[in-house]
Amino acid sequence: MEGSIHSVYIHIPFCDHICSYCDFPKVLSFSPWIERYLETLEKEIRMNYKGERIKTIYIGGGTPSVLSLEQLRKLFKIVSIFKKDTTCEFTFEGNPESLSEEKILFLKENFVNRLSIGVESFQEKLLKKMNRHHTKEEVLKIISYAKKVGFLNINVDLIYAFEEETIEDLKKDLKEFLSLEVPHISTYSLILEEHTRFYIEKRKPILEDIDFSMYQLIQQTLKDSLYEQYEISNFAKNSFFSKHNLTYWNNEYYYGFGMGASGYLKEYRYNNTKSILKYLSGAFLLNKEKMTRQSNLEYTFLLGFRKIKGISKENFFNRYHLVLEEIPIIKRLLKEKKLVDKGKFISISSEYLYVENSILLEFIGEKYE
């Protein structure tokens, strides 16, 4: 891993509407801004990309699928700057209502091999609360067409734990999601983030015991349908794990380009500005965090223990020349049975997964050696 940068995230912030729960950097679609944004994005990439061979590319947002075909052509001309590995996992995010058959075919012809589709729910009352604008028919149509043209690797997102959502609502959603027969499902318990419509409206979080019951229902239902949980929120069939997201969870280096994007480039982590006007002016960077051995260790624990498999003892030793199970906090958490030693890996104990964040917080500010 040392010395290599093999992943790229590209942020497209434009949306046709703003979802009630979303706190990602975004702006409403405005064609002149999109044109300027693509020009600026190209400048940022040419300024910073050093010619490494790239193994994963992820175009996220925002809603990348709101771009017109002509704008997508411009975007993919920019993406051609990267030297892609022959096995490159290339993910494109989209919403059902803006992922037309024409766009799906374009993506397939331009080497995208993984789609991530924001389905979120099939419950009309929940979609309305979220300010989502697609229908069940649009979801079924676009996934069917994507499969028809050869997309094998498709992810769909599910959001749950809304105020007033019931266990029965979630059961119905899970049944609909499973009927899609896609190899990857990402599930997210609703968080009421600041600056979102839900937060401003003072929506209340669901009761914790209901949230926990919903999490257990998701785990068991997907397990029964042969999905493997490989990260706290992610489930896959037939090892269709997200290679790009594993870059993050393995604390590996990656480029982040675009408004609000984040990156990790050896000596430092950085965040780009969330202001569209600043980004278009070329003032890309918001902040930098210089990485030390101590901060790298902390990130390795905070990210690595999100994986169900946990952290590899061998990889950890090769990177830090430390024995993982001999680190004081690891020894303590193993003794408390919050962590479990699986031989080659150490992971969070399954009964503590739901309260994982409380365990991860224990790593912040610790001295590891």
Q: What tens digit of pLDDT does each residue of 186-207 get?
A: 999 988 788 888 778 788 888 9
pLDDT tens-digit map of 149-181:
999 999 999 999 998 899 999 999 999 999 999
- Where the chain has pLDDT below 70, the residues are 1-3
Query: Are 53 and 109 contained in the same domain?
Result: yes
Which of 213, 230, 248 is the last residue before a domain boundary?
A: 248
**What sign does the CA torsion over 80, 86, 88, 89 have?**
positive
Q: How many domains does the chain have?
A: 2
How much is the pLDDT for 3?
56
Query: Are 243 and 300 contained in the same domain?
Result: no
Domain that holds residue 62: 7-248
Q: CA Rg, the chain, in Å? A: 21
Residue 280 inside a domain? The answer is no
Residue 285 inside a domain? The answer is no
Contact by Cβ (8 Å): 161, 210 = yes
Residue 297 inside a domain? The answer is yes
How much is the pLDDT for 154?
98
| 3-state secondary structure at position 326 | helix
Query: Are 227 and 340 contained in the same domain?
Result: no
Contact by Cβ (8 Å): 172, 123 = yes
How much is the pLDDT for 80?
98
Query: Are 201 and 70 contained in the same domain?
Result: yes
Residues pairing with 157 in the sheet: 186
Alpha helices (H) in 27-159, listed in sequence order: 31-48, 69-79, 101-109, 124-130, 136-148
Query: Are 125 and 181 contained in the same domain?
Result: yes
Which of 190, 213, 248 is the last residue before a domain boundary?
A: 248
How much is the pLDDT for 24?
78
How much is the pLDDT for 181?
98
For the entire predicted model, the pTM comes to 0.95
CATH code: domain of residue 210: 3.80.30.20
Residue 72 inside a domain? The answer is yes
Which of 195, 223, 248 is the last residue before a domain boundary?
A: 248
How much is the pLDDT for 29?
82
Residue 278 inside a domain? The answer is no
Residue 21 — φ and ψ, nearest 5°? -105, -10
Query: Are 224 and 355 contained in the same domain?
Result: no
Query: Are 143 and 217 contained in the same domain?
Result: yes
Contact by Cβ (8 Å): 163, 204 = yes
Query: Are 297 and 244 contained in the same domain?
Result: no
Residue 273 inside a domain? The answer is no
Query: Are 140 and 60 contained in the same domain?
Result: yes
